[in-house]
Amino acid sequence: MAVIMITEIPGADASFIDGMRAAGVVEALSKAPGFVSHISGASDTGYRVIEVFESREAHQAWYDSHVAPNMPPGSELKMEYIDLTLSLPAT
């Protein structure tokens, strides 16, 4: 089942994505098995990431192989998964 993953990187700002881009993570995301979409941006408390993947397992595999190795040491993100029940295309 497709899932929405939501996480917050506390204390991060918009430069966070620049680091991920420089590490090749952003470019690799569109080719990740099960990837559907990604949106992200700075929030009041850090940097929020929302992604849609075809399954929780596909997202976890992506995170473990591409994101986690590029996070600062000791970083542990709390990821919330929501089963996707409706997706409408942009008009």
pLDDT confidence of residue 56: 96
Flag residues of the chain having pLDDT under 50.
Answer: none
Query: Domains in the chain, ordered, with CATH?
Result: 3-83 (3.30.70.100)
pLDDT of residue 16: 81
Task: Give pLDDT, residue 5.
Answer: 97
Q: Which pairs from 81-86 meet CB under 8 Å and 24+ separation?
A: 81/3, 81/4, 81/5, 81/56, 82/3, 82/4, 82/6, 83/1, 83/2, 83/3, 84/1, 84/2, 84/3, 84/4, 84/52
